Chains A and B, each alone.
Chain A
Amino acid sequence: MTTELLIWFIPLPPILAFFLIILFTHKNKTLSHSLAVGAAFISWMGSMVVFVSALGVHELGAHPFSSSINWIPTADTWLKIGVLVDPLTAVTLFFVAWTVLMIFIYSIGYHNYGQPVGDHDVMGLPPHGATVEEHGHKHMVPSIEPMYSRFFAFIGLFAFGMYTLVVSDNLLTLFVGWEIMGLCSYLLIGFWYAKESARDAAVKAFMTTRVGDVFMLLGIVFLYSATKTLSFREIFTEEILHTLASVPSGILGLSAAGLIGLLLFIGTVGKSAQFPLHVWLPDAMEGPTPVSAMIHAATMVSAGVYMIIRIFPLISAGWVEGLPINNTMAIIAFIGAFTALFAATIAVAQNDIKRVLAYSTISQLGYMVAALGIGAYVAAAFHLVTHAFFKALLFLGSGSVIHGMEHGVLHTGEHVDPQNMFNMGGLRKKMPITFWTFLIGGFALSGFPLITAGFWSKDEILADAFGNAHLSVFVTLATAAFLTAFYTMRQITLTFLGEPRTKSAQHAQETKWTMTLPLVILSVFAVGFGWLGIPEHFPVLGAFSANWFHEFVGSTLLEPPAALEFSWTPLLTSILVACGGLYLGWLVYRKVTSVEQDKLQIPVLKNKWYFDEIYDFLFVKPSYWLAETFTYKWIDSGLIDGILNAIGRTTSAIGHALRNYIDKPIINETIGDGSANLTQWFGRSLRPIQTGHIQQYMILTLFVLLLVGGALFYFFLQLGLL
């Protein structure tokens, strides 16, 4: 089996698991999760094999693993699809495989495998606990998820979509994977479909990303019409890029490449929840926590950033390092930086443990997008990978916390929200593994110096921003980093430190090994991965590593970017904001024990700058009006149904007229009855001939005979025959 062939097979096990679970094993929970986890494991193994092979190839950027087949015949050539593993793909495969496998294993414990079936559990609602009798007294324990197998089928499909997107070598199959993940996000956010909030969130997510997808499709179509190909290797060549960069597109003064890049970027704005299409991501927390981890860390939002990194040559067509960035890149950088700060301001006022992480995801994605916008290709990719690891870790950790709290809620019978941080506290004693791994993840997110991966990737972005004199971006990102550290420490302090604030928190319990093992593994990456990207000129440590990441991933581009000159300013700034934010967060919140004491509960921040309300007014309500009133009531019911009803009435009238004025009088009476009556009249009139008097018959017969005979005789006489 060559590596190319193996790459084709990587996405297959999860989709196979999906079909097998849906069709055959959905009644058997053990078999279902075994199929799913087994499939994830096989894909993970395939990815690792490919990754290791990729490491061994010299100049992978120039000679990637690729394999393609003819797919759609066009006029004189074929549209090809295939797989491609270049350095960017290799590192993406690495983190996708690990995070997907960890989330799959985590889901077993999260959905309470092995627990009894709940008392009042119905399909479509989260499980509510089962009463068990232990040691003579009854209490509630967490119950197994009723739709257990379905969940694993869906995340299998999700994994398939992501793998397809990552290994594809052309925009078409990338878009296919993109859309499959869009579908799965709908299915999984609305997993507990009996909850109205979950249903609404699923629709919101799908609709919002759809807006982005429409523009992305426009971009793909434009690209195809300009270059007659969608394959990356064929597009990202000197001539095509140069042509696209020089042809003006007529819109906003952008070149063709710039417009295509912008359109494709809008897809990322939707998928990766950048401003202004960010509104779906916080609501997506309605789904189960592994879903949140999958969507918001490992796969879906990363897919948006991956795509934009992939088409960086298109976005940056015409730009060389050192020059001012072109218009498309400027727009991208602005949106990224703005989103990073915007989301961070909202996160400081959120009280739900998952909401904080949701907004932090939006913020971090803004970092990556901004990095790409200013041309920091490698930094963006680096942050993508490290973010995947620590965000997955944080989400899974929050799920573990919620599980522990739910255990406490069921045990005590208290009715508190297990997700509200103000109901927690002191969990570090009750859930140690969760605490330490969450701490590592939180520090990675904040960019705690040197020992966390987040520091290295974030620092590289800041360094790039500063080094290329994009000072506005630099300042914005630095402020956002400060806020990130602040709210992260707020979260950790409220959740784990201090004393338990409710009885449920007191009775919280550490979760099973199926949930804590992935946390531990991910924390290893959250710490260690960063060391692969230590810049060359870093004081002291730079000498030990040759910035492998930069060399490896940078070689994906046609012209590998040069390593940045070291500068103390960004380094000190990032250390300052990280440590300062963490310290301040701890300082403020170690005294806060209730929500009233939290001074940052500013309404405009709590309500997400009222964007949901604005969109509702601007877009949602008009759409409803258009659908319900205009289209349904006026046009469909009024106009079209009116026409149809009129036709119906006319036809009915015509039928009535035909029946009563033609059918009955003419055909029935005149023709039908008339002919019958005529016949009868004839019969009645002729009947008297039959008198029964044979002599009369004979007379008549003879008379006619004589007549006819005489006529014939004279006739023949005339003819001269007689």
Chain B
Amino acid sequence: MTLAQIIFLFVALIILGSALMVVTTRNLIHAALWLVSALFGVAVLYALLHASFLAVIQVVIYIGAIAILFIFAVMLTRRDLRDRGPQLNRYWWAGALLSIFSFTGLVLLFRNWNGFSRTPADFPVGFDTVGKLGDALISPEAYVLPFEVASVLLLAALVGAVYVAFTRK
């Protein structure tokens, strides 16, 4: 058990624990905060994977924007600050069953793949991850088109969200 593995297991525990709390806790604000914790764990995972840009983006965008957004939404959609009633619906057992099945199914699928247990190659020294990512994103032979389309998508979503939620006073 190397150091990397121990760290990984620790982070994985945090992530999964937080995730479980997200989906089971009654209080929605708590759920959003647990989500923040899970997202943090994922950011650490990115860092472990040498995907530095992704780690930063994860924190900034997901935690900084999306989770905050969730908290705002929770606050805007309650008559009082308490959550009443059960938080799970009638079919929770079917959902639980399905989750377990999907998990086992996925794992079984993975096991059949021969690259399942490969180990990573050494990370090249002086590898400019961010630079290379930047190049890939804007280079015409690479992924500039999806990048631009994604930005248009964001614009559309922005406009749409504003329009949907807009109220005239």
Contacts and interface: CB of A to CB of B under 8 A. Distances in A.
Direct contact of A and B (CB under 8 A): yes
B94 A710 contact: no
Interface string A685-696: 000000001011
A717 to B, nearest CB: 8
Chain A, interface SS category:
helix
A699 B109 contact: no
Interface in B80-104: 89, 91, 94-95, 98, 101-102
Contacts, number: 21
A699 B91 contact: yes
Nearest to B91: A699
A696 B102 contact: no
A702 interface: yes
Most chain-A CB neighbours within 10 Å: which of B95, B98, B102, B105? Answer: B98
Contact of A722 (B89, B98, B112): B112
A703 B109 contact: no
A655 interface: no
Contacts of A693: 89
Contacts of B89: 693, 695
Interface string B103-115: 0010001001000
B105 A703 contact: no
A699 B94 contact: yes
B63 to A, nearest CB: 27
A639 interface: no
Contact of B105 (A695, A706, A722): A706
B102 A706 contact: yes
B5 to A, nearest CB: 30
Contacts of A702: 98, 102
A709 B105 contact: yes
Given A695-B89, A695-B91, A722-B112, A710 B105 contact: yes
A706 B105 CA distance: 8
A571 B95 CA distance: 148
A710 B94 CA distance: 18
A713 B109 contact: yes
Contacts of B112: 722
Contacts of B91: 695-696, 699
A699 B105 contact: no
B83 to A, nearest CB: 18
A333 B101 CA distance: 130
Nearest to A701: B98
B92 to A, nearest CB: 10
21 contacts: A693-B89, A695-B89, A695-B91, A695-B95, A696-B91, A699-B91, A699-B94, A699-B95, A699-B98, A702-B98, A702-B102, A703-B94, A703-B98, A706-B98, A706-B101, A706-B102, A706-B105, A709-B105, A710-B105, A713-B109, A722-B112
Interface of B: 89, 91, 94-95, 98, 101-102, 105, 109, 112
Given A709-B105, A722-B112, 14 more contacts: A693-B89, A695-B89, A695-B95, A696-B91, A699-B91, A699-B94, A699-B95, A699-B98, A702-B102, A703-B98, A706-B98, A706-B102, A706-B105, A713-B109
